[in-house]
A and B are shown apart, each in its own frame.
Chain A
Amino acid sequence: MKHMTRKATRHISQNEGLIFEKSSAGKAAWKLPPLDVPEVDTAALLGASERKDLGNLPEVSEIEIIRHFTRLSTWNYAIDLGMYPLGSCTMKYNPRVNEVVARLDGLANAHPYQPEKISQGAMRIMKSLSDCLLEITGMDAITLQPAAGAHGELTGLLMVRAYHESKGSPRKKILIPDSAHGTNPATAAMVGYAVENLKSNAAGMVDAAALEAQMNEDVAALMLTNPNTLGVFEQEIHRIADVMHAKGGLLYMDGANMNALVGKVRPGDFGVDLMHLNLHKTFSTPHGGGGPGSGPVAIKKILEPFLPTPVVITKSDGTMAFEYDRPHSVGRVRAFYGNFGMFIRALAYILANGPDGLRQTTEDAVLNANYIRKGLEGVYDLPYSTPTMHEVVFSDKLQAKKGVKTMDLAKRLIDYGFHPYTTAFPLIVPGALMIEPTESESKEEMDLFIESMKSIAEEVEEDPQMVLDAPHNTRVSRLDEVAAARKPILRWKPSV
């Protein structure tokens, strides 16, 4: 044989091209049934609006599509393959029964505007989920409308603003700890509030005295994540809530870290006025490569008049309906009712767990994070000695002496078969390694992770270049992000 034939030996290393590169005229993966109504003359009906050409859309067969996407999928890491130690992402198991029930015909094919008479099943799902989430959070009312956590933050702050407006003045500022997720200040700005930073103290918590000094009648709310992004529970939460309430401010909680609290403590009990939840974190709905999520917002009674419309209500005859006549509502934050498909999945998760399962889940999440913390203490620098809950943050301080940073360590972790932890966040820890295993990890998987991280630390001492050049075992090596940003190529173009 003179030439190598172009057949790959392992599909995992095949260079699957773009679908456009496989396209050729005449191939088809579709077939429509024959029309049971008369054909139409498109030109006559549409005139100048008629589209003549669909450009460079592909023409391929069904098997090519199956192979294309199956091959692409093998290039992805996923929860189904192994642990994601990503902090504050709560990458837990996505139960498959959730996928089955979401596809039941009467639910999957329900049109949002269908008569309420045949929507009772959907509304009952929304009500049951709402009731469970209210019990879990200790709050009084809830909206399921927001499509994701950030959207929930927006909705929450809109209600904060409406509340203050009803008291005479919307106020001007939102206080946000310097450890907060980027969506927090971005959201505050979208709602027309100025952002004021709150410095963390030496234990990585909100400095309650500093808060007291900064709190005044210009501050509408404090946006707090609890436990915070260091995994630390705000022990002074009682004082924090009191400081806010004494000057008429509200306490907003970012619920991203609820996985440390479910069944053990309820934010409504410790002074939170409103909070959002991430169904795609705590409540097991799948990440799907970046969404969809769902970000319900649970509130105390004082904010109820401002809930987005519509609200699910139960009528005197026991049937459910959507209530639109709510004069003080902040309005809508999206069309229809929310990411209903995610409600089904989250409710299925809650029903699969029950009260005992939920509590055990939280306990395992905290146990797992502390197990990893213990295993890596001394190997990586631990900037805060404060007890942590479901996640822990190390820094690259020790390794940085050899010129190796958190991103390099993360890339080397890929060679050991794990997805990286969260790098370079929270911003208050330079060179952060933020690790959250979740309850879905077995002792075996975590022991493997700990061993891998220890091995990498050794490599830093003995052969730092190996770590700096990582990953070595992936289909693509480190990608040139600088070129991608300097000369963005954001679509395929046919070669001239």
Chain B
Amino acid sequence: MPYPSDFKYTKEHEWIKADGKIATIGITNYAQGSLGDIVFVELPKPGSELTAGKAFGSVESVKAVSDLYAPASGTVTEVNGELNTAPEKINQDAHSAWLMKITLKDPGELNSLLSAADYEKFVADEGAK
């Protein structure tokens, strides 16, 4: 699956798409693949503050839990309620099953994240290890 070029990526396998000051966040196809069938997603409440690089929630499969790390700093405005009853949507299409939307504190932070091409290379290297 190609990685959307209008997304930015982190080494912790999150994606973030900015639209001015609003950004949408999710996890990548690679992440959902390594986790396996997702059973539960733990997300912060709207209004919570995120700090870039810090853990803000988690994604669970039957056998593993992965922390989620904020790709950028900001305030949570909306959380994807569908994931409460249908977390499998992430497995089905990780790049459209968004986790939450935030108001960015500093859109400039996204410049230090990976582009689709860089992320693809990063994932290829991970697989080779």
Instruction: Kindly supply a per-residue 1/0 record for chain B positions 36-70, scoring 1 wherever the CB is within 8 Å of any chain A CB and 0 otherwise.
Output: 01011000000000000000000011110000000
User: For this complex, into which size category does the number of interface residues on chain A fall?
Assistant: under 10
Stretch at the interface among A185-193, A233-241, A438-446, A479-487: A479-487
B60: chain A residues at CB < 8 Å are: 485
Give the complex CA separation of A482 and B88 in angstroms: 10
Q: Does B71 sit at the interface, judged by CB under 8 A?
A: no
Give the complex CA separation of A486 and B36 in angstroms: 13
User: For this complex, into which size category does the number of interface residues on chain B fall?
Assistant: under 10
Most buried by A among B62, B63, B87: B62
Instruction: Kindly supply a per-residue 1/0 record for chain A positions 387-425, scoring 1 wherever the CB is within 8 Å of any chain B CB and 0 otherwise.
Output: 000000000000000000000000000000000000010
Most buried by A among B39, B40, B63, B88: B39
Give the complex CA separation of A123 and B37 in angstroms: 52
Nearest residue (CB) in A for B86 is A486
Give the complex CA separation of A489 and B78 in angstroms: 29
B88: chain A residues at CB < 8 Å are: 486
Nearest residue (CB) in B for A488 is B39
B63: chain A residues at CB < 8 Å are: 424
Give the complex CA separation of A481 and B62 in angstroms: 7
Nearest residue (CB) in A for B91 is A482
Give the complex CA separation of A482 and B86 in angstroms: 12
> How far, in Å, is A478 (CB) from chain B's closest CB?
12
Nearest residue (CB) in A for B63 is A424
Give the complex CA separation of A481 and B63 in angstroms: 9
> How far, in Å, is A487 (CB) from chain B's closest CB?
9
Most buried by A among B37, B40, B87: B37
B87: chain A residues at CB < 8 Å are: 486
> How far, in Å, is A345 (CB) from chain B's closest CB?
33
Give the complex CA separation of A424 and B40 in angstroms: 22
A482: chain B residues at CB < 8 Å are: 37, 39, 61-62
A481: chain B residues at CB < 8 Å are: 62
Give the complex CA separation of A424 and B60 in angstroms: 17
B-contacting residues, A454-496, CB 8 Å: 481-482, 485-486
Give the complex CA separation of A482 and B87 in angstroms: 11
Give the complex CA separation of A482 and B61 in angstroms: 8
> How far, in Å, is A269 (CB) from chain B's closest CB?
39
> How far, in Å, is A486 (CB) from chain B's closest CB?
5
A485: chain B residues at CB < 8 Å are: 39-40, 60, 62
> How far, in Å, is B60 (CB) from chain A's closest CB?
8
Give the complex CA separation of A486 and B40 in angstroms: 7
> How far, in Å, is A120 (CB) from chain B's closest CB?
50
> How far, in Å, is B80 (CB) from chain A's closest CB?
16
- Which 5 pairs, one residue from A and one from B, show the smallest C-beta to C-beta distance? A485-B39, A482-B37, A486-B39, A481-B62, A485-B62
Task: Identify 7 residue pairs between A and B in the complex whose beta-carbon atoms are under 8 Å apart, listed by A's number.
Answer: A481-B62, A482-B62, A485-B39, A485-B40, A485-B62, A486-B40, A486-B88
* A positions within 8 Å CB-CB of B: 424, 481-482, 485-486
If A482-B62, A485-B60, A486-B40 are given as contacts, then 11 extra A-B residue pairs at C-beta distance below 8 Å, sorted by A number, are: A424-B63, A481-B62, A482-B37, A482-B39, A482-B61, A485-B39, A485-B40, A485-B62, A486-B39, A486-B87, A486-B88
